[in-house]
Amino acid sequence: MAFLNPNLALLGIGFLIIPILIVLFIHRRRLVLRWAAYHWMELALAKKRRKLRVTELLKLLSKLLLILALALALGRPMLKVERARRTLLVVDHSPSMQTRLGEATRMDRARELARRLVDASDGPVAIATLDDHLTPLSQFQEDRQALGQLISTIAPSTRGDTARSLIDGVLAYPSLSEVEQLVIISDFQAQWYGEPEALSELASRLGADRPVQLVPVDSRTGLANVGVVESRLPPEGMHRGRENEIQVLVRNFGAAAVMSLPVTLANDGRAQDRALVDLPPGEAKWVHLSSHNDGFGPQQLAISVPPDTYPVDDVLLLAVAPLRPRNILGVIRAEHGRDGPEPDVFFRSALNAVGGTEQWNYRTVRPEQLATENPANYDVIVLFGVPVRTGDSHAEDLRTFVERGGGMIAFDDGQTEGIWTALGMSCGDISETVVTPDRGRLGDGCFGFMADSPELAPDLIHFYRWRSVTAAGDTRALLHVTGATDPVVVRKTLGTGAAICAGFGLYPGATDLYYNPNVVQFCARLVWDVLADDPVRVFTASTLPGLRVPGLDRANRYALADAKGVHMPLRVQGTPRRPELSIPTPPEAGFYAITQGDRPVLRFAYNVTRTDSDIRTAAVELADSLEDEQVSHKGQVGILTEGQFGKMTSTRELLVAAFVLLACAVVLENVAHFVLGSRR
Amino acid sequence: MPTPQRRWLKYVDAETVARLCHMGLKPAGLVEGHLVGDHRSPFHGFAIEFAGHRQYVPGDDPKHLDWRAYSRTGRYLVKQYEQETNFNAHMVVDVSETMLFEHEHGRKIDYAAFIAVALAHVIVNQSDAVGALLFDNDIRQLIRVSTSTDVVANISEALIGTEPKNASAIGDVLCLLAERIGRRQVVFIISDFFADVEDTFRGVRRLLDDRHEIVLLHLVDPVEIDFELNGKIRLLELEGAGKLEVVGHEIRESYCELFREYLTDISARAARLGIDYVLCRTDESFGQHLAEYLSRRALKYG
């Protein structure tokens, strides 16, 4: 058995003297009596002597075991049967590690995980950092304190990492023959999404007896998988008082193309330039950004790409997929006069994200082509900056379309009043009545709103936890501008259909809205709200069989609970290493929760209709479940979650708890002994 | 504080003695005394209490012939009378070293002295004679029987002046006593009886052979019965050099069981021999014990 803190273990063993001292102390405090009935006492003692000796021995043993437990607890024993492994700990410090996770960054999280891993590891550890090459920071050593200090010095790099840099770096590691285990702490955004083969190659080259453990610091999905690979300052250096051109190599590591990706250059925290790039999968592009250097002294330049700027709490987890494929028609203005992608890029991407082309039949037309289309063939018509005025021929078509059960979404950066008027609907109640959110119903911070800017600047839009805000009548304001009288998004029913008008446009190039993970949910929610009353399948996170319960443990009891509180026990299946919860198809549409004991650990909706759509979409536990998601890899590779390397700490806590209990028992026994012994 | 002349009053509890004297003490059977008294004697003669007639035999004094009976029956009959006498009692007090035991209720030797003096008072008060014998492994002191009230003071003085220091040999002492005191007397044995039980009753049986009435007054400290002591205790042997280390609550059950067996054994043996046995716990008043005993005795023997 090895100890993480052998000195403390020795100290604890030194405590073994305590029970001996206690015994001596108790023995000194005795009553002396001249005894007449000595003969009978001798007989009694002879009769009991053997039993008393055993009892005394057991007592002393229990006390010694108690101290031993303390010594073990202090020493933090490694209870693994296998011998201590020599671990190479690779910490990713590529630029993508600067992505924020709430208050901290991925780098902060990686450092914390590294420290915990070092504390929990049972053998010598060497540390290396990874960007475009592997940099050894220390030789194998067991001094946890020194390793912890070393970890604290790891700072983000400006050079991006690749799968090749990891493989080459590890294989060229000077002490590779000594490495018995490779642990990689990374966001795995750059290397591994879509490239698990690279990891398999590394694992196979290391051999089966040298496992590779991955510790993901951010397992969110659906994010733009783009990173800054390299940046170059002007060859002549930065000069004050003029524009300095900085080149940034941005690469798309993901499997999907990204469009109009905003790359922002900030100087001393102030955004100075932004460029939009389109990146096919796997490709990299040089972006030219300029920085105006006005100040004296050192300046801090920072390059950021989404989703760095979005806190994790903004992630909404509502996924909408129709039961049958839906036909959506996008109407795009021809003369928008901009280069770059079409204005429906956000919407299209959103549809891809929440259902894909299998679920959504999406096509676009120009406004002048709208007359040739039969609206009856579509479920939803989306207007992107296309004006609808009273008297237009397509205005009447749209009105008829909505009245017959269709859904219409109109993005317009002007007043939405014109659209409503063209559709023959009154909006006086909208302009006159400011829709106020029902905070009592929504709870704290659970409604969407615009940033508190006096201007309606689309690139300042942040979608916080999304909730509907219901006003009087049939008006439903989905977004609300603080301090303004114009509701931003208004939904009205007309006949059997519904229309939504958004008072802003999703202009590519003017907003990084798309790269905000929330916009996917936002667009999905617009479709959800504008569809007719047909049931649509709603899952949170992913598909029903793939629902992941965070911290799934065979020892716990799980149940499927419906809104009425009826519980149906669930069985945990799978292997001990990969337990899976067998979730049956819910008996009816509704909102369900998977409970562990009485505590809900996962909520989801099944086959609910739009009228039931008041979903808690940003429940904290769902965010937790996402954090627990693991990336699947091939080869001799395992995912090491925080809970797994924290088990040894739990063992110590158990020992400490056992010690405290035993100590209480022994102290009580001795106190009782002392008090009773004092009674003469 | 009694003056030296009144030192013997140390063991006199006047109130208790007065109460006990009122109850009196009668021997259970026939006694052989030297003086005329209130108690039945085994001897018959020509005194006051008519006992019956017997056939005249040559040698009888003709003056004892009952001529009235001769006139009625035509037979020569002689009148018989019962002799009444006093009784002699002996206080046999154990002064061995175990009688020094004390815990919370005083020394057993003092308790024994109070009992002996009180009983002596009662006996002398009813014109019977009382003596005393203090013993350990031998007869330490013998006080001859007397009807004088001085004998009480003598017994008390003897007990005051005795320092227990030897082991008890009660069996041998009782045999010695039997050889010295003749027959049909009352013997009160006041002791903790911590000697060998078999040996003790060997002496008792020797006394019974001489038709003595024996009363065992067994003195026991409550702690010796219940052993209500906790924690570590070092026990030093009173009649030896032995030492024991015990833990009170651990040994209590086993010890108490053995000690009760011993008490039961003594009382059973006494019952088998038809002798009175009084267990005197030293935490209770000796007067109470004696009063109960005398009361029970009065009921039993009239």
pLDDT in tens, A207-229: 777 877 777 776 554 455 666 77
Of A293-297, A475-479, A629-633, B289-293, the least confident:
A629-633
Residues B131 and B277 in one domain: yes
pLDDT digits (tens, 9 = 90+) for B38-92: 555 565 554 556 667 888 888 888 888 889 889 988 888 887 776 666 788 899 9
B285 lies in some domain: yes
* Distance between A63 CA and the closest CA of chain B, angstroms: 18
**What pLDDT sits at residue A678?**
47
Q: What type of residue sits at position A331?
A: V
Kindly state the percentage of chain A with pLDDT values over 90: 4
Q: Quick one: pLDDT band at residue A335, thresholds 50, 70, 90?
A: low
At B82-131, the pLDDT tens digits run: 666 678 889 999 999 989 888 888 899 999 999 999 999 988 888 888 99
Q: Which has the minimum average pLDDT: A59-68, A115-124, A366-375, A475-484?
A: A475-484
pLDDT in the model for residue A81: 43
pLDDT above 50 (res A563): yes
pLDDT in the model for residue A276: 72
Chain A residues touching B234 at Cβ < 8 A: 30-33
Chain A and chain B share a number of CB contacts under 8 A equal to 102
B275 part of a folded domain: yes
Judged by CB atoms closer than 8 Å, whether chains meet at B259 and A40 is answered as yes
Average pLDDT over residues A323-337: 75
- Tell me the per-residue pLDDT of A586-616, one tens digit each, with 9 for 90 and over: 777 666 778 888 777 776 666 554 444 333 2
- Which segment, A25-39, A383-397, A653-667, B148-162, is predicted with the most confidence on average? B148-162
Judge: A38–B240 Cβ closer than 8 Å, yes or no: yes
Judged by a CB distance cut-off of 8 A, whether residue A49 touches chain B is no
With an 8 Å Cβ cutoff, the interface of chain B facing chain A consists of 98-101, 103, 108, 192, 194, 221, 224, 229-240, 242, 244-251, 254-255, 257-259, 262
pLDDT at residue A548, rounded to an integer: 65
Is residue B234's pLDDT more than 80?
Answer: yes
* Parent domain of B232: 4-29+87-301
What pLDDT shows up at residue A624? 34
Yes or no: say if B300 and B276 are a contact pair by the CB < 8 Å rule. no
Confidence of residue A126 (pLDDT cuts 50, 70, 90): very high
In a domain? residue B8: yes
pLDDT value at A569 more than 70: yes
Question: Does B244 contact A45 at a Cβ distance shorter than 8 Å?
Answer: yes
Tell whether B25 and B64 lie within a shared domain: no
List the strands of the sheet with A590-596, edge to edge. Answer: A579-582, A567-574, A558-562, A590-596, A599-606
Residue A647 pLDDT exceeds 80: no
What pLDDT shows up at residue A619? Answer: 25
| Residues B107, B248 within the same domain | yes
Tell whether A52 is within 8 A of chain B (Cβ).
yes
Task: Give the domain CATH number at B154.
Answer: 3.40.50.410
Can you give the pLDDT at residue A355? 60
Q: Can you give the pLDDT at residue A156?
A: 80
Quick check: is B154 in a domain? yes
Classified as helix, coil or strand, A488 is: coil
Kindly report, residue by residue over A251-291, the tens digit of the pLDDT: 776 666 666 666 777 777 676 777 777 788 778 889 888 88
Phi, psi values for residue A390, rounded to 5°: -60, 130
Same domain, B72 and B203: no
* Alpha-carbon B228 to chain mean position: 30
Residue B111 and residue B67 share a domain: no
Helix ranges (DSSP H) in A122-195: 144-152, 163-171
Q: Which residues pair with A261 in a beta bridge?
A: A277
Residue A646 binned pLDDT confidence (cut-offs 50, 70, 90): very low
Tell me the chain A residues in contact with residue B235 when contact means C-beta distances shorter than 8 Å: 33-35, 38, 41
Check whether residue B78 and residue B91 sit in a common domain.
Answer: no
One-letter amino acid identity for A327? N
Q: CA B135 from chain center: how many Å? A: 14
The answer as to whether B92 is a domain residue is yes
Extended beta strands in A43-196, E state: 77-78, 87-92, 100-101, 104-105, 125-130, 134-136, 181-186
Q: What percent of chain B has pLDDT over 70?
A: 88
Residues B50 and B161 in one domain: no
Q: What is the Cα–Cα distance from B112 to B155, expressed in whole angstroms? A: 12
Residue B236, min C-alpha distance to chain A (Å): 5
Give the Cα separation of B173 and A334 in Å (integer). 139
**Mutation for testing the A interface, residue in B235, B251, B266 having most A CBs under 10 Å:** B235
Distance from CA of B202 to the nearest CA of A (A): 20
The verdict on B138 and B80 lying in the same domain is: no
Sequence-ordered list of residues with C-beta below 8 angstroms from that of A4, at least 6 positions apart, any chain: A75, A76, A77, A78, A119, A120, A122, A144, A648
Give chain A's mean pLDDT: 68
Shared domain check, B174 and B135: yes
pLDDT band (50, 70, 90) for residue A503: low
Residue B289 is assigned to a structural domain of this protein: yes
Question: What's the pLDDT tens digit per position in A142-183?
Answer: 888 899 999 999 988 766 666 677 788 888 888 888 888 888
**Is the same domain home to B56 and B16?**
no
pLDDT at residue A455 greater than cutoff 50: no
Residue A95 backbone phi and psi in degrees, to 5 = -55, -35
CA A344 – CA A68 distance, rounded (Å): 69
Model confidence band, residue A353 (pLDDT cutoffs 50, 70, 90): low
Quick check: A26 and B249 CB within 8 A? no
Q: Are residues B267 and B133 in the same domain?
A: yes
Residue A356, pLDDT > 70, answer no
pLDDT of residue A571: 85
Residues in chain A closer than 8 A to B230 (CB atoms): 676-677, 679
Helices (H), A102-211: 106-120, 144-152, 163-171, 196-206
A21 touching B (Cβ < 8 Å) = no
Q: Quick one: what percent of chain A has pLDDT higher than 70? A: 54
Angle subtended by helix axes B248-273 and A38-75, to nearest 10: 160
Question: Is B141 found in the same domain as B45?
Answer: no
Q: 3-class SS at A150?
A: helix
Total number of domains in chain B: 2
* Residue A165 and residue A132 in contact, taking contact as beta carbons nearer than 8 Å: yes
In a domain, B179, yes or no: yes
For residue B255, is it within any domain?
A: yes
